[in-house]
Structure 1
Amino acid sequence: MGKYEPPYTISNKMLELVSSISEKVGKISSHRELEARPHLRKNNRIRSIHSSLKIEANSLSLAEVRDVINGHLVLGDQKEIQEVKNAYAAYEKISEINPKSMSDLIKIHGIMTYRTVEESGVFRKGEEGVFSGDQCIFVAPAPNMVNELMKDLFSWVKSSEGTIHPLIVSAVFHYEFVFIHPFADGNGRMARLWHTVMLYRWRNVFEYIPLESQIERFQAEYYDAIAKCHVNGNSDVFIEFMLSMIDQVLDEVIIQVNKTNESMSEYVKRMLEVMEYDVPYTANAIMEALHLKSKETFRKNYIKPAIELGLIKMTLPEKPNSKNQRYVKQ
């Protein structure tokens, strides 16, 4: 029996999207834009986690996810809060993960599902199906087939290195992973994380590209593309869909970076330099660090534009003039 080859066919649309994505990644990477913008990197990481969990029906808001990650008290469902902590821990491992390692996949699943599912860090032992409401739209392969199917998939990933573009390989892997459905829970989260890991190994800028946010915006189309591939018996539709999602989210990141470049004044840059991330500062403490005397100058030239750009936030946004107000660099 020959080695496994996932069924797909390269189309002109795929090639056009690969070219477009490569050009846009080059624009971001050549100027090291995200490396110079830690606030954008962190914001995008939080958006990725929030969106990937929201797709799986986690109800925590973006602000609540941010607070959980920053170690603040959040009143909510404890399982959902744990899911955020788990996802953050898993995403923090991106640079360490070997995307061609099945043992790494199983290990990261253990982190992603820690204390939230019974079968954590192991392949499923039972039958699984994908449901839309009460209707079963897809029955996953039998559990006794999972290990061999995953071995075949990882063997293909290894053999594709240097011959198939990573943008294509990562999309094929994502679809095949969803098809195999190797875990009892957490398959969607793991598929999206692994897609990001594979893209990161191609170009490290993808560590902080919020691809999951783009998928969440087009969640219905995401599931529709998967369903069409199940019917067609190949991953062509899904590959084109994911490439278009990556292409679109890169446009957003370029705009995000340009907006910050154009809008951030020297005043704001100076203020950010004297502030640590996630540390609450009083206005007086920041003014003292900047050697400022005028509160009006501080408000007009420093605080107001930084808040508008999303670079800092108020701890009491509903009470902007409170004596207990603090400012936090994001």
Structure 2
Amino acid sequence: MAYLPVETIIRDQQGAYYQALRESDNASASTPFIAFILKAAEQALNEALESEPGHKSDQASDQVKNLLRLFISNPSEPLKVPDMMQKLALKHRPTFRKNYLKPALEQSLITMTNPDKPNSPRQSYLISTEGLSLVGK
């Protein structure tokens, strides 16, 4: 448990964390807070398991498919990371990169518009032919 990023998950879900504390305080019972912490620990465990080498999960696959669907309406329009995150209603950039962007790139489902400069602030992404066929276009 010492290596699980529970603090990061709590930080990313601060509103829910404080809500669980309020509910526990109002009920004079720790059940809502314990439920929140257990859910955060479960999420941290799942993320740790998904990051194991060679591990593939349906969740990651679903996340990649959700990313690919952003390109369907206009496959030739490149998208930047902030735009993709906004459309997916995501706020935590490292999680987006780990669970969406990196697997899609590794599977050649999306491509960089500027592959020679992967960290360029002007970097955008396009869906590949393989990506299009995966999401049914």
Shorter-chain TM-score category?
A: 0.3 to 0.5
Larger radius of gyration: 1
TM-score w.r.t. length of structure 1: 0.20
TM-score w.r.t. length of structure 2: 0.47
Q: Of Structure 1 and Structure 2, which has the larger fraction of its residues in helix?
A: 1
